[in-house]
Amino acid sequence: MSVKVQICRRLKDLTRDDLEKLTKTELVDKVIQLQSYNRQLKNILHKKLNESDNDDMIKLTESGELSKNSGTEGVESTETMTTIEPNQEKSLSRKFDFSKTFKRHVLLKLLYFGWNYQGFACQEDSNNTIEFHLFKALTRTCLIESRSSANYHRCGRTDKEVSAFCQVISIDLRSKFPEEHQFEEGYLEKEFDYCGIMNRVLPKNIRCISWMPIRNYLFSARFDCVTRTYRYFFPKGNLNISAMQDACKLLQRHTDFRNLCKMDVHNGVTNYVRHIEAANVRLCPHENESKNKGYAMHYLEIKANAFLWHQIRCIMAVLLLVGQEKEEPSVINELLNVEKNPCKPQYTPAVGFPLNLYHCEFRDKSEQKAMNESRQDIKDIRDLTKWLHSENNLRRLIENLQSEWSRAQIKATMIRSTLYDLEQLLEKQFNAIDVNFQISLLQEDVKCRSYQKLMNRKRCESLNNRIEHFVKKQRLTVPKQKDSVEVQEFSMP
Which residues lie closer than 8 Å to 54 by C-beta, 6 or more apart?
A: none
- Which is nearest to 272 in space by CA: 259, 261, 260, 256? 256
Report how many domains make up the chain. 1
Q: Is 331 within the bounds of a domain? A: no
Q: Of the given ranges (6-10, 140-144, 182-186, 305-309), which has the lowest mean pLDDT? A: 6-10
Q: What angle do CA 201, 206, 210 make, to 5 degrees?
A: 90
Q: Is 368 within the bounds of a domain? A: no
For residue 371, what are the CA distances in angstroms to 88, 215, 217, 219? 43, 10, 7, 10
According to the model, what pLDDT value does residue 488 have? 42
Between the CA atoms of 88, 91, 92 and 96, what dihedral angle is there, to the nearest 10 degrees?
Answer: -170
Q: Are 364 and 191 in contact (CB under 8 A)?
A: no
Q: Comparing 308 with 477, which gets the higher pLDDT?
A: 308
Over range 419-442, report the average pLDDT: 86
The tens digit of pLDDT for each residue in 265-306 reads: 887 888 899 999 999 999 998 887 777 778 999 999 999 999
Task: Please give the residue range of the domain that contains residue 174.
Answer: 102-223
Q: Are 368 and 291 in contact (CB under 8 A)?
A: no
Label residue 258 by pLDDT band (50, 70, 90).
very high
Q: Is 27 within the bounds of a domain? A: no
Which residues lie closer than 8 Å to 155 by C-beta, 6 or more apart?
A: 167, 168, 169, 221, 222, 225, 228, 357, 360
How far apart, in whole angstroms, are the C-alpha atoms of residue 10 and residue 21?
14
Q: Are 162 and 119 in contact (CB under 8 A)?
A: yes
Q: Of the given ranges (222-231, 258-267, 405-414), which has the lowest mean pLDDT? A: 258-267
**Does the active-site annotation cover 256?**
no
Residue 360 has pLDDT above 60, yes or no: yes
The tens digit of pLDDT for each residue in 61-87 reads: 333 344 434 333 333 333 333 344 555
Label residue 359 by pLDDT band (50, 70, 90).
very high
According to the model, what pLDDT value does residue 473 have? 77
Q: Is 134 within the bounds of a domain? A: yes
Over range 323-344, report the average pLDDT: 94
According to the model, what pLDDT value does residue 60 have? 37
Over range 187-207, report the average pLDDT: 94
Half-sphere exposure of 345 (CA within 13 A, CB side): 19
Over range 226-253, report the average pLDDT: 94
Q: Of the given ranges (77-81, 158-162, 169-173, 332-336), which has the lowest mean pLDDT? A: 77-81
Which residues lie closer than 8 Å to 144 by C-beta, 6 or more apart?
A: 135, 138, 150, 171, 172, 173, 174
Q: Is 41 within the bounds of a domain? A: no
Over range 311-333, report the average pLDDT: 96
Q: Is 409 within the bounds of a domain? A: no
- 230, β-bridge pairs: 302, 357
According to the model, what pLDDT value does residue 450 have? 87
Q: Comparing 3 with 369, which gets the higher pLDDT?
A: 369
- 361, β-bridge pairs: 227
Q: Are 452 and 331 in contact (CB under 8 A)?
A: no
| CATH assignment at residue 164 | 3.30.70.580
Over range 177-201, report the average pLDDT: 92
Active site residue: 13, 53, 159, 172, which one? 159
Q: Is 161 within the bounds of a domain? A: yes
Q: What angle do CA 268, 272, 273 make, to 5 degrees?
A: 135
Q: Of the given ranges (79-93, 249-263, 272-286, 340-354), which has the lowest mean pLDDT? A: 79-93
Residue 487 has pLDDT above 70, yes or no: no
Q: Is 201 within the bounds of a domain? A: yes
Half-sphere exposure of 131 (CA within 13 A, CB side): 21
